[in-house]
Structure 1
Amino acid sequence: MKLTTLAEPLLEFGTGTHICPRTGIEQMGVYDKRDELRRTELRIGVVGRGEGIDLLDEWLAKCRAGVERKAGSKLPNLFRGFGGISPDHGFLTRIINSPQYTRPLQKSEITSALKLETRADRIERAVNLFYEQVRFLAENRAVDVIVCVLPNELFDSVTTRTEGEASNDELEHNFRRILKARCMHLGTPLQLVREKTMLITKQSGDQQDPATKAWNFATALYYKGNRTIPWRLVEDNAKPTSCYIGIGFYKSRDGETVSSSLAQVFDEFGHGIILRGTPVSIDKKNRRPYLSEEQAYELLRDALEEYDRALQHMPARVVIHKSSHFRDSEQAGFRRALKEKGVRSRDFVAITGTDIRLFGDKNYPPKRGTLLTMSESDGILYTRGTVDFYKTYPGMYVPSPVRVTAYDQDSSLEGLCEEILGLTKMNWNNTQLDGRLPITLECASKIGDIMKYVDSKERPQVSYSFYM
């Protein structure tokens, strides 16, 4: 066994590098500022009731001006103030919202939805209310992203079953997922927010201070609206051009049918392509889904063909991340696809949970990046833990490491773990630098949540911005 601590991966921004997304954007600007064709305006469509629209107007004004960091905190790197959104600072863009880009919901319609007997009926009515206004904006206004502002009581109504309510409906009902799936064909990403989360002061029960909320909100809007990336991993020219693929599984809404597979393809610049797989089998012993050799072959073949269409070349290396162990049939199918496409270098990596824990030498957990190597192909990696840059452990619960197992590897285990650590920082829905899972698997999970609501005959959007 060998114990090491991996260095925190660097991110690349407009004029330099840093380990922290917030510091990098604030000091060096977004990565795509070097693109002379980048857009410098972000047009925001809004759907909500009158009070919610007013709250969003106030919140956007505050985000433009900036939000001070958490008062009294002795951790300035963790609780960094938000410097605002403007054409000459940070995001280097102008956010535009206007009554012409706004569609109000009628209070009487909301009240009517709240009175429906079952949660499934309330969700259906609420989705229809928002969908009609989203559709109008997507089809009649040149907006880049649409913010749906959920009234507090409507949110409570569609997320909780009322006391004494019984449901004979065995289908899964989730407002957020259904709305995103329903609106997907319109081609404009959505950002859902609750009215209470936009209050300037920190509210009881909030897990984030206002500045952190502003960072995450602005970054998500920028990524969704511009269809571009605010930061990327620093490219290692010594490594072959790599394509990272995350494979996950999801159940149908009734929970009874066989799970289906999906893939998320990321190039080294962070661009992604979403693919939907075919129904798969379930292992009778452990109830885990798996791919047949033919399904594995077809899934990877289609992924590589999409990669080729997007970048006009094949990657020199393919890394497949899976949240369960690789079966022989899956490996055989993947190898066949790689051979057919002429890809010579490969790494098949399972990233799973583990009961193994390490203990720090003080009151803090082990450092993020701590790697316990148990063999050439098996190790325990702390993707969450104490962060020197933050001078603390920025979590609420004791962190649990992941187990990294390489089944077919051309790279060292340490190199694979360095990549995993880097890919945990590529989630543009969160500006804290210590994500637990790489974006490949994080995205695969988010896609599955929504894909189950997308009709099998409908072609799903290929951008991650429609699922986050």
Structure 2
Amino acid sequence: MKYEFLKEPRLQFADGTHICPRKGIATYGVFDRSMSTRRTTINVGGVGSSRCLEALGGWLDRCAKVIEAPEDTNQPNLQAPFCGFTADQGFCSQLAFNSELSRQIRNTDIDEILKIKDRNERVSKAINLYYEEIKFLAQNRVVDVVVCVIPEKLYKKVALEEPVEEEEKLEVSVEVPKELNFRRALKAKAMHLGKPLQLIRAVSLKDKAKGQQDDATKAWNFCTALYYKAGATNPWKLETDPARPSSCAVGIAFYRSRDRQVLNTSLAQIFDELGNGLILRGTPIDMRKDDRVPQLTSQQAYELLTTALNEYRIALRTYPARVAIHKSSNFSNNEIEGLRNAARDLNIDTVDFITIHDSTIRMFREGNYPPYRGSLVSLSDSRHLLYTRGSVWYYQTYPGMYIPQPLDLRIVHSEESPAFLAREILGLTKMNWNNTQFDGKYPVTLGCARKVGEIMKYLDEGEKPHIRYGFYM
């Protein structure tokens, strides 16, 4: 057994690098600041009741200014002040919102929905109510992203009762009713309109709301998500070594249809050095009754990776020299054969296969705090434990609520060292533009694939999924 501590991967911003997205944006500016494709003004559409729209306007006005951190904070790096969404610094852009960019939902219509006793009918009516207003904005107004504000009384009736599923639980249940999830179904229904959605509870727009994050943290996460969803590039990227050949990381995960009778595969690929993600949907998986783990056939694996790498070539006009493939279940021989054949036919020099599980093994540190994020324990040449959640030196605390669980990395085949692969995975946990707290648990390759699957299950086979990750987060 060998222990090694990995330094926190650095992120690249416009004028410098830092380990923290918040500090990096505030000090050095968003990475894409000098790019011609970025938006200096983001037009925000809004859908909600009159009170919700007023609250949204007030919150956006507040986000245009500095929001101080809580006075009683003991972790100034964890609860940092918000730099303000302005054209002069930080995001170097501004948020535009007015009555022309908003669509009001009548309280009468909301009250009618609340009277419906059948939950599925109630949720369906709410989805249609919001969809019609989103559709109007997408087709008749110049908006970059649409914020849907959910009144608390409606939230409790259409969202709070949503069934909670375990990630990656693949057992088939008999006579399971179709899941109807308000957030997922609305995003899927509106996807063809080409405008990313941001759903938010009305209570979250209140100042110092009870049970919510502090206002500065809330502003960081909200504004970063809007910026990413509305733009063509990203607020930060991983610092890379220019001496190393180009590479991309691919995540493969599975999801069931809403009635849980058909198993599909979804794939999320981080397809360029900026972290832009390409989303592809695979073909249905034919599982025998005695199969416990879904597997791709050799041909399915071949087609999935070939399609992904061809899209990479279209984006960057060349193929990567190396591909790292992450999977949340064990690779079968057929999958490895198909993936290797695809890489060989496209002249990819190196393919690494890594299985990433939640580990049941835990380490303990002297004292009351869990092991540091970045702790790597090698149990054998092919099996390693990596703490992506844990005590964070920069935060001077453990920012989680529960005992952290390390990732179990199973290296099936790789030309790289275990420490290199672990550092790469640790870096990919920071490519989540929905959360500016940088200690994410899963690399975006798998975290993204899971979120994609949750929404793709609401798309019919004939519907073409959007390739941008911003439509799923």
TM-score range, shorter chain: over 0.9
Structure 2 matches for 1:401-416, cutoff 5 A?
401-416=406-421
Deviation by residue 1:357-413 (Cα, 9 ceiling, x = unmatched) = 100122110000000012222100000111110001111111000000111211111
Structure 1 counterpart of 2:298, one-letter code: E
Structure 2 matches for 1:7-156, cutoff 5 A?
7-156=7-156
- The answer to whether residue 270 in structure 2 is matched with residue 263 in structure 1 is no
Structure 2 counterpart of 1:312, one-letter code: R
SS at match of 1:45: strand
1:80 deviates by 0.3
Tell me if the contact between 2:55 and 2:206 (Cα under 8 Å) persists in the aligned partners.
yes
Matches of 2:69 and 2:276, distance apart in 1: 31
Which residue is 1:182 aligned to? 189
Matches of 1:321 and 1:186, distance apart in 2: 31
Structure 2 matches for 1:37-436, cutoff 5 A?
37-160=37-160, 170-203=177-210, 205-206=211-212, 208-257=213-262, 259-266=263-270, 267-282=272-287, 284-285=289-290, 287-436=292-441
Deviation by residue 1:323-345 (Cα, 9 ceiling, x = unmatched) = 11111111001001001111011
Deviation by residue 1:28-67 (Cα, 9 ceiling, x = unmatched) = 0000012144321000000000110011111111111121
1:119 deviates by 1.0
Tell me if the contact between 2:37 and 2:232 (Cα under 8 Å) persists in the aligned partners.
no
SS at match of 1:65: coil
How many residue pairs match? The answer is: 460
Matches of 2:257 and 2:280, distance apart in 1: 16
Deviation by residue 1:115-158 (Cα, 9 ceiling, x = unmatched) = 11111001100010000000000001010000000111111101
Q: 1:67 to 1:283 in 2, by over 3 A?
A: farther
1:305 deviates by 0.9
Which residue is 1:455 aligned to? 460
1:265 deviates by 1.2
Structure 2 counterpart of 1:40, one-letter code: T
1:283 deviates by 6.3
1:105 deviates by 0.2
Matches of 2:108 and 2:451, distance apart in 1: 33
Long gaps (5+) in structure 1? 163-167
Matches of 1:140 and 1:43, distance apart in 2: 13
Matches of 2:71 and 2:27, distance apart in 1: 22
Structure 2 counterpart of 1:186, one-letter code: L
Matches of 1:282 and 1:318, distance apart in 2: 27
Tell me if the contact between 1:118 and 1:161 (Cα under 8 Å) persists in the aligned partners.
no
Structure 1 counterpart of 2:125, one-letter code: R
RMSD: 1.3
SS at match of 1:290: coil
SS at match of 1:281: coil
Matches of 2:146 and 2:274, distance apart in 1: 26
Which residue is 1:165 aligned to? none
Structure 1 counterpart of 2:30, one-letter code: V
Matches of 2:196 and 2:62, distance apart in 1: 23
Q: Percent identity?
A: 47
Q: 1:380 to 1:286 in 2, by over 3 A?
A: farther
Matches of 2:294 and 2:245, distance apart in 1: 32
TM-score for both structures, normalised by structure 2: 0.95
Matches of 1:17 and 1:190, distance apart in 2: 30
Matches of 1:242 and 1:268, distance apart in 2: 8
Tell me if the contact between 1:283 and 1:289 (Cα under 8 Å) persists in the aligned partners.
no
Tell me if the contact between 2:376 and 2:385 (Cα under 8 Å) persists in the aligned partners.
yes
SS at match of 1:397: coil
Q: 1:105 to 1:383 in 2, by over 3 A?
A: same
SS at match of 1:282: coil
Structure 2 counterpart of 1:53, one-letter code: L
Range with bigger deviation, 16-25 or 67-76: 67-76
SS at match of 1:289: coil
Matches of 2:160 and 2:148, distance apart in 1: 19
Where do 4+ consecutive residues of structure 1 move more than 6 Å?
Answer: none
Matches of 2:96 and 2:125, distance apart in 1: 30
SS at match of 2:207: coil
Tell me if the contact between 2:176 and 2:260 (Cα under 8 Å) persists in the aligned partners.
no
Structure 1 counterpart of 2:264, one-letter code: S
Q: 1:137 to 1:264 in 2, by over 3 A?
A: same
Which residue is 2:170 aligned to? none
